[in-house]
Structure 1
Amino acid sequence: MDNTTLVITGMHRSGTSLVTNWLHNCGLQVGESLLDAGKGNVEGHFEDLEFLKIHEEILADKGADPSGLFAPFDLIPSRYETAKMKAIISVKNARYQQWGWKEPRTCLFLSTYTELLPQARYLVLQRDYREVVQSLLKRDFSYIDDKYQARSWPVRLVWNHFYRSIRFRKHRAKYYDRYLTAWIVYNRMILKALHTLPEDRYLVVSYKSLKSQCADVFNFLTDAWSFRLTYKKFTDIYRSELINTNTDHLPETADDHLLAEAQQISGQMRAYLQKSSERLAHQAGTLSASSAA
């Protein structure tokens, strides 16, 4: 019997941890060893450490930052690295008839994974580039903020009422374009994979839509893709207070070309999101008709 594999993919800060948490609660095997909770993901990252380590190894070998958020991005795994990726998959397949994983850097290696896993299904998480950039900036800055909040009260007083806002503006000016570039690259690679995958092998969703569509997505996974899961409400694990959506005070990028490209890619991703919503609606209609009969 063929294995049933789900690749949960999307740019950093796009809701992949949240959705993987939900699927883990529904019974999907998402890894024996998972990355611990941390800053920005207090509920847990739900990242399979085996995939995380091989991705970081490839990034380091190519001279890239292990976060995968800074250039170079054009990374082709060596034969040895590809063999290690294949070995990880082989072990998973031997242990589990159905399994999946989430690790944002997967986006950088989708061309390799689509070859190694020709029958895998892809659940793609999409989030607006402004929200992603803001979330990354906020997460980074929280580490700086924590250092000052741990100091004496006079230092905290000066920091909170004067230096904090100045420092954040500098941080934003330094990293805004870099993070926007990362969003563009990750989503460009997702689009490249979607262009080549058969339509029945992928589903593009937004974590926001899952608040109302979780039953439809669950039924699609179990009926269209044959995953054996137990239904749990997405709203049971969704915590709105942990989701940052404030983009009111974000400046426009200094690079108009980056902004134009981000908007173009957003339009293409919205088209895939719409197609997937239509497929979910069709699947729900088919199930309703079958139940009525």
Structure 2
Amino acid sequence: MDSLLELCARPYDSENWSEESEKAFEELFGSSGGRYSLRSQNDIQFRTPAAKIPFSAVIHKSNPTSGGYSGMSFVIFPVEDGPAMIAMVVGTQGLSPDENIIGKPGHSRKMNAIVRWLNEQYSGNEPISWAKKDAVRTDIGVPQNVINAHPEYKNIFDRYGKEIYGFCIAKNEIAEKALKAFLDFNFEERGYTPLSAAEDEFKEIKSNYFSYLMPTVTQQKVGNLLKQRKYVVLQGPPGTGKTRLANKLLEEDYESQGMTIQFHPNITYENFIGGLFPTSTGTELG
């Protein structure tokens, strides 16, 4: 793991990237210092092609040894002027043979929980991690505001923005947590957990991000979203505090300058949106 961490921290070196990344990935397997079993290595293929957008990827073993690949993949994208991007990616050739993994609702939920946890751990101003709500939606790209926040990785987003469904920038303070969380997630989804030497750490990481599966919605977070987007939808079962939170926001953030409206079946669009309405006249037209 140390070699992979070091590789993620360094700027891209085109002469040595392929050889060094392959060696670093090899060190992940086997009981002699590795994190995962040799059996798990037999189910994956390592790919580090000479491409315009360089990357190193762990993909399904059934893929061809060159060209486009399909299914779920763990990918490291290096850049020349910063740390690497760690990502979960759907191959450009589609979901198969991992559609049964990527298509599970829990897969996307766990990816989003990992991202929320990593962003909470990072002390910088901008979020360092992002995830798509639904991993299978390869018709949807990375949002423009996320791309703008990470200009060093624009070429990666331009090429693979629709295939990336979760990423984290491997900055120093967060790199180790991100790398282990993404790798553990990738292998556990394939049915493999880390070796016994790393089992306690694996369970701790998983417990940490599992606490973000159902994130707490605070008044501050909703207030910040309202400043950015001008609207927020609160959803949840009755009695969980949605109305109370809305009333507190109205009172404390907007000095009670607003109103509460109870929606019911007789509420229509015209109750809220003005427009042109006909009026009756005494002419032949009426």
The interval holding the TM-score normalised by the smaller chain is under 0.3
- TM-score of the superposition, structure 1-length normalised? 0.26
- TM-score of the superposition, structure 2-length normalised? 0.26
- Larger Cα Rg: Structure 1 or Structure 2? 2
Looking at secondary structure, tell me which structure has more strand per residue: 2
